[in-house]
Structure 1
Amino acid sequence: MTHAQTRAPLQHPRHDEPSLFRLAGLPYFLIAFIARLPFAMMVVGVLTVVVAARGSLSLGGLTSAAVGLGTACFGPLLGAAADRFGQRTVLLVLALANGGMLAVFTVVVYGSAADGFVLLAAVGIGATAPQVAPLSRSRLVTIIRERMPVGRRDRTLSGTMAYESAADETVFVFGPFLVGILASALAPWAPLIGAAALTVVFVGAFALHPTGRHVSQERDSSGRAPSGVSELFRAQLLIVVVGILGVGVFFGAMLTSLTSFMADRGAPEQAGLLYGVMGVGSAVLALGVAWLPPAFSLRARWLVFSGILLAGTVLLGFVDSPATMTIALAVMGVGIGPTLVTQYSFGAARSPRGRSATVMTMLGSGIVVGQSLGAAVTGELAESAGTAAALVLPMVAAAIAFAAGAANWFLSGRATPAERTTA
């Protein structure tokens, strides 16, 4: 298939300056949003079914971490495959493979297989997980770069990263909620079977959407990128990965330590409600990033908003009730959403030519790895040393994100001319 053929669905705008919404179409955004849900349901769904079927919270935690391990190891490779062969083929294979692995895992966990096979099946779920969010970002970034007028690209890119981050926040709040509803109303295995069905149907639809045919103009006729793999390891890009890893650790550490905090007060089931305070605020502020003035540069935004996040975590040292915890979470919500949007914006700006899907899946995997690591370490610390010790870890994670932002401030001075327009 030639590049002219692959670009056909995105051509023929009705006027000289089409909007991204018109280029992609309303069905695209609806499909891409629902297609994210299975990924948000997997980790919590795996934990729920393992605890119910095997009666072990420890094994449940390890199994959830195994899902994250599979995603971390294979996510960037799948992104590279999407860059090389196009998203459509890769996503169709993953939709079927992941749906199958979710079903296999359910059979294994309820069977008599050893715990090792349960963990291996969990790695398989993570390894085949279609990372719709990073690939959606990559797809939209490519459209913006190649279909929109130069003067509108920066503003549109900022708005797109804001929307994508807000969509992620919404899905990762709603996903666990949906798991709880299905597990309570039907059975512990229901969330995983539901996730399998959503994966096959909606990830398949995401793959088959006309934008899925689009191959970057920066790739040659054989699909090779003009940039070498070594460009993925530049300091300016790696610092973004470190920063987003810190955000992932924060997510895992905060939810786990909050659960411990509420368990001390006899209401662990209310942790999700309080966490939603931060999630909703984060999503709203993430959307607001698109309206920030251009003079408020990306590198300044990273420092300012990660600083607000860090200040919110410092308040954790003084919380003594659900009310004061809610205040701290609200402050953190102001910082976390815009920080995440800014980091993804830097990732888009610094992606080597023809490798945007690889970079976006690197960042998406950083979130997953950080979240799994943060949850595992915080859970162990809460059990062995208590809630007060566990509440220190979100502060450490926020400090990592802030320190990466400070390093990025100086690295941005060595950015390319294209990067300087947004840095």
Structure 2
Amino acid sequence: MSTPAPTPTSACPSYAAVLQVPYARRTFTAALAGRLSYGTVSPAVLLAVVHATGSYAAAGTVMAVFGATGVLLMPLRAALVDRHGPRRALLPMALLYGGLLCVLAVVTWRPGTPVVVLGAVAALTGMCAPPLGPAMRSVWAELVGDRGLLQRAYSLDGVAEELLYVIGPLLVGALMGFAPPAAGVLLSAVLIGAGTFAFVTSPALAGVRVPAGDRPGLRLAGVRGLLGPVVVAAGMGLALSAVYLLVMAFAEQRGYGDGVVPWVLAAVSAGSAVGGLLNGAVDWRTAARVRLASAALGLGLALVAAGFAPGLWSLTAAVGCAGFFVAPALTTAYLLADEVAAPEARTQAGAWVNTAVNAGSSGGSVVTGVLVGRVPLGVCFLVAGVVAGSAGIVSLLPVRRGWSRPRGGAAQ
């Protein structure tokens, strides 16, 4: 990418300084519009498949296939972005993804489509999902030259992404007031197409250079220093998916009813937003690896405490405290991924962190589903906390010399 205009720097740059970077506001807004599609698509597809088949089991299968192809192939799609540049790679992916979402909307508009057809279309759709989140973080790393300002950019990005997954389901719910669920799938297609087009046409991407020679963006050589961020991300994904199921089980066992569950889970998002903003506002002197491990340990301790909650309010406070560590952990993981990756593999490095979160979440849902009902909920919370904390400890283990290729000394 061409050298950006000088960015504001100070001992403690503000969030406003992030948005004052040339082209940052336009590029970030466009990326968020496209990423909102990922906040709407999951509830929309789930409800559309239930509407088309009348079966929650079929909907779960279709969603599992959709999620698996989207998550497992994300590093490959990110490598294509690194290899060909975001303009040449992201727009075709978005067109394919949006087009297949339209097909999925058509086949779920009315009941009667065979589940095998829905699963096949969902699998193809997931394969093409453009990695807008990793691509935006890669652009942040190019736009922002100051590491302190980059930390604030990543924190702002993480908090905004958290809000997208709150706003997305609300949009789908509002749309269902006057349209079938498949209309939400169409909305997701429009968002990804319009957002990606606006993103790739931003002047911030005009100077992106495609790597010459052996196209290093297609391999993982030099980024084994990703072990710590990936392990913490996977542990965090597993722990958080466990929390969602455990809160539901807690409410059912104590007779509170399902209506309280969204409010308790909202405490996780609220805590994450507060933690993310505070994390980005601090001029940290502690090494990033230590901060990453500390956030994972904090999450683990909060989840262990949740296991001792005697009632709804104490549980809400405990999971809110757990959420406080989520955005800081993710922000630091992305900073470390950017630090250890070669410039031509930035998007791929960030995608591995994303993949780890989602893979951990899927695994956590399975494990927690097996444990709930067989062991006390307090033990389930304890297991989730131990997993998150252990991931933090593992992230502190020394990386064998020659595995990573750091570009600077800010993150250790």
TM-score (norm 2): 0.87
**2:64 aligned with 1:77:** no
| Whole-angstrom CA distance in 2 between matches of 1:266 and 1:107 | 39
Match of 2:53 in 1: 54
Residue 231 (structure 2) aligned to one of 229, 242, 267? 242
| Whole-angstrom CA distance in 1 between matches of 2:218 and 2:363 | 32
Match of 1:116 in 2: 116
Amino acid at match of 1:238: L
| Whole-angstrom CA distance in 1 between matches of 2:21 and 2:181 | 41
| Whole-angstrom CA distance in 1 between matches of 2:86 and 2:188 | 21
Structure 1 range deviating more: 164-173 or 398-407: 398-407
Deviations 1:125-173 (A, max 9, x none): 22111221111001111333xxx3xxxx221221122112111211122
Match of 2:388 in 1: 401
- Verify the 8 A CA contact 1:225 1:354 in the aligned structure 2: yes
Shift of 1:80: 0.5
Match of 1:225 in 2: 216
CA RMSD of aligned residues (A): 2.9
1:181–1:319 CA distance, 2 compared to 1 (3 A): farther
Match of 2:192 in 1: 199
1:226–1:361 CA distance, 2 compared to 1 (3 A): closer
Match of 1:187 in 2: 180
Shift of 1:402: 2.5
| Whole-angstrom CA distance in 2 between matches of 1:160 and 1:325 | 32
- Verify the 8 A CA contact 1:154 1:422 in the aligned structure 2: no
Shift of 1:347: 1.0
Match of 2:342 in 1: 352
Match of 1:290 in 2: 280
**2:141 aligned with 1:138:** no
1:14–1:55 CA distance, 2 compared to 1 (3 A): closer
Match of 2:363 in 1: 373
- Verify the 8 A CA contact 2:94 2:192 in the aligned structure 1: yes
Structure 2 gaps of 5+ residues are none
Structure 1 gaps of 5+ residues are 1-5
1:198–1:58 CA distance, 2 compared to 1 (3 A): same
1:214–1:64 CA distance, 2 compared to 1 (3 A): farther
TM-score (norm 1): 0.85
| Whole-angstrom CA distance in 2 between matches of 1:395 and 1:126 | 33
Deviations 1:259-284 (A, max 9, x none): 33334435324322221111012112
Match of 2:246 in 1: 257
| Whole-angstrom CA distance in 2 between matches of 1:51 and 1:74 | 26
- Verify the 8 A CA contact 2:8 2:21 in the aligned structure 1: no
Amino acid at match of 1:257: L
Deviations 1:96-143 (A, max 9, x none): 111111121223334534322222222222211122111100111133
Deviations 1:32-66 (A, max 9, x none): 22221111222222222222332222222222222
- Verify the 8 A CA contact 1:307 1:402 in the aligned structure 2: yes
- After TM superposition, the structure 1 = structure 2 runs for residues 152-171 of structure 1, keeping only pairs within 5 Å, are 153-171=146-164
Shift of 1:417: 6.2
Deviations 1:311-342 (A, max 9, x none): 11112322343212211112112222211111
**2:169 aligned with 1:176:** yes
Shift of 1:77: 0.8
- Verify the 8 A CA contact 1:248 1:371 in the aligned structure 2: yes
- After TM superposition, the structure 1 = structure 2 runs for residues 298-309 of structure 1, keeping only pairs within 5 Å, are 298-309=288-299
| Whole-angstrom CA distance in 1 between matches of 2:22 and 2:376 | 50
- Verify the 8 A CA contact 2:232 2:391 in the aligned structure 1: yes
- Verify the 8 A CA contact 1:35 1:199 in the aligned structure 2: yes
Count of residue correspondences: 402
Residue 341 (structure 1) aligned to one of 314, 319, 331? 331
Shift of 1:377: 4.0
**2:203 aligned with 1:210:** yes
| Whole-angstrom CA distance in 2 between matches of 1:313 and 1:16 | 37
Amino acid at match of 1:250: A
Shift of 1:375: 3.0
Amino acid at match of 1:57: Y
